[in-house]
Chain A
Amino acid sequence: MPLSAIKTIVKSQNGVGAFILPCKSLSFHYCNWWGSSRGMNAFIKASLPTFARNNPQIEFSVSPRPRKHPVIIAEYINGTQRSICVKNLQNEGVREKAEFLRNHSGEKDRKIGNPVTSVNESVRGIWDPFHGAKVQL
């Protein structure tokens, strides 16, 4: 056999062809009794239907969590979970937190050194001392 092949798997590039929103589900937990949930309850009554209609790719769930602070829990495609406690926030503040969780990628927060990453190799190649204007064959 003069030639064999090496088995690999294609690398996903989310957003190159199709875009899958990393946020998979959002669950809103509220308490009817505690005052810290007042903004959350207002958000659920006033803004959540519109918010859910604008994001049909996310699974929404609302559940009571008595005698606890209100919390939004998001699950992501890569299996991670991220939750934000929204105690004492008003309607707008809760909406901002929900949008933050929706837009998040689900990756861990880490410092990005080089802002450009690419799977394609450089067109010019690695620098080589033997190639250039002065090299004569």
Chain B
Amino acid sequence: MKRIAVSRCASQLLANQLPRRPTCPYAAAKNTAQHVTPHSHRIRARWQSTAAAQEDDGLGIEIPTPASTPRSPPRAARKPPPTPLPLEKLPSPHPKAADSSTKLHALRSRLSLPPRFPLPALARTLVHPSADPDPHFNNASLSILGRHLLSYYTSEYLLCTYPRLPMQVVFAAVEAYIGPKALAIIAREWGIEAAEEPGGEVEPGLLQFKRIQSGGALPEAFRRQAPWAWNVTTTHKITRTDEFGSEHAPPSPHALQRTPVPNEEAAQSFVRALIGALHVHLGSPLVKRFFRDHFLSRHLDVDKLFDFRTPTRDLSKLCDREGFDSPIARIISETGRLSRHPVFVVGVYSGKDKLGEGAGSSLDEARTRAAAAALKAWYLYRPVDVTVPSSMEGELDTSKWRPNLIDCGEVIV
């Protein structure tokens, strides 16, 4: 459950920023980049790109054409035209090549993105830092933004929809929705293909990253299993670790420059960077719709995520905490007690209320199943009317807001 500063990524980013006090690194880069003299040949050669910091007009929200085209003549008039580098010398495709790429046009239509989303920005999301170490041309910063947005939207959906879910299950559900494997699958389902080798002459619609040699070992950044702290508790996982509550810190995107990476890492960075780029160029309402359509529409059985160790003990603790009568297991029906396949149906009762029911081939198994069913019935409570906090971002009419249930938490045994 990675925290995100809502003020950074909320819709006020869409308004024109005051020039004095940029609140986000993107805006800061936008205001300063005009005065920076590029000192590298490559940057000079690609200076008119649409690396996201280079746009003049706001954040490109309601611009019908890509922002790079109208500004090129005056800048070219101010500076002497630099000698263009051959494409093979560039580590990643030239941003100008994006507008003529059929793959990128098709990808944008396939994802139902509006035509005002610039293709150079889409091309930039496909460049992993392992291919191009220059942060102006790779997707590292966008993928960090997109990762925070994804974890924010997923965790708020889960916490508001299932307010009583135990933390371990929340972590597992977040990982099921936006974990590295899930994102790699999503990228594959969007029709993303990887380039064999990144380079300036490569088609910009392909995923650009440095592959691990066949038979080669995993690079050091992935093998290093650095724990977050010496005592990683659940509270620590909530506040300090990443959104999946993982044991070890994942490598930062900026640390993967020129490192060969697995396909999964590059694919997940693309999906995250696409979310970040959509947020920057099209605004958060569209990102929320995109997230609902492409991520939340996937199927997850939350009740299959539970793995109880001692459900009977948890249930009696829960009843104790909530002030119910202590649970009692009673046989509802049975058959073939002396046969090879006996079946017992056991219900767990608290007073006169049946909390859960389970069938098993022994009395103990049936009782355990019944207790697990009762616990799931408690933990999987869903309020009828749910409004997530992000749905009220930038809304003037807040009468639709329903306060969310906040539960006191799972049973501590």
Query: A residues touching B (Cβ–Cβ < 8 Å)?
Result: 1-14, 16-18, 20-21, 24-25, 56-61, 77, 119, 128-130, 135, 137
Contact = CB atoms under 8 A, between A and B. Distances in A.
Contacts of B333: 130, 135
Contacts of B395: none
Contacts of A4: 168, 307, 309
Contact of A18 (B109, B293, B300, B345): B293
A57 B107 CA distance: 6
Contacts of B171: 5
Nearest to A14: B189
A5 B181 contact: no
A18 B112 CA distance: 9
Most buried by B among A1, A6, A119: A6
B400 interface: no
A56 B105 CA distance: 7
Interface in B28-43: none
Contacts of A59: 102-103, 105-106
Given A3-B169, A59-B103, A21 B300 contact: no
A20 B304 CA distance: 27
B182 A9 contact: yes
A135 B292 CA distance: 45
Interface in B291-326: 292-294, 296-300, 304-310, 313-314
A12 to B, nearest CB: 6
Interface string B247-272: 00000000000000000000000000
A135 B332 CA distance: 10
B298 A60 contact: no
Nearest to B333: A130
24 contacts: A2-B309, A2-B310, A2-B411, A3-B309, A4-B168, A4-B307, A5-B168, A5-B169, A5-B171, A7-B176, A8-B172, A9-B179, A9-B181, A10-B177, A17-B293, A18-B293, A20-B111, A20-B191, A25-B106, A56-B106, A57-B106, A57-B110, A60-B102, A77-B190
Nearest to B305: A5
B306 A5 contact: yes
Given A13-B298, A18-B294, 18 more contacts: A1-B309, A2-B313, A3-B168, A6-B306, A6-B307, A7-B176, A8-B172, A8-B304, A9-B179, A12-B185, A17-B294, A17-B298, A20-B189, A56-B105, A57-B110, A77-B189, A77-B191, A128-B359
Contact of A130 (B102, B305, B345): B345
B189 A61 contact: no
Interface in B350-400: 359
B298 A11 contact: yes
A40 B287 CA distance: 42
User: Main SS of chain A's interface residues?
Assistant: loop
Contacts of A18: 111-112, 293-294, 297
Contacts of A56: 105-106, 109
A11 B168 CA distance: 20
Interface string B268-297: 000000000000000000000000111011
Contacts of B111: 18, 20
Closest 4 CB pairs of A and B: A17-B297, A5-B172, A10-B298, A56-B109
A59 B345 CA distance: 58
Contact of A3 (B109, B308, B335): B308
Interface in B97-127: 102-103, 105-106, 109-112
B243 interface: no
A58 B106 contact: yes
Contacts of A24: 106, 191
A6 B302 CA distance: 10
Contact of B300 (A1, A11, A17, A130): A11
A6 B304 contact: yes
B175 interface: yes
Contact of B308 (A2, A9, A16): A2
B57 interface: no
Interface in B156-172: 166, 168-169, 171-172
Nearest to A21: B110
Contacts of B300: 8, 10-11
Given A2-B310, A57-B106, A20 B410 contact: no
Nearest to B412: A2
B42 to A, nearest CB: 29
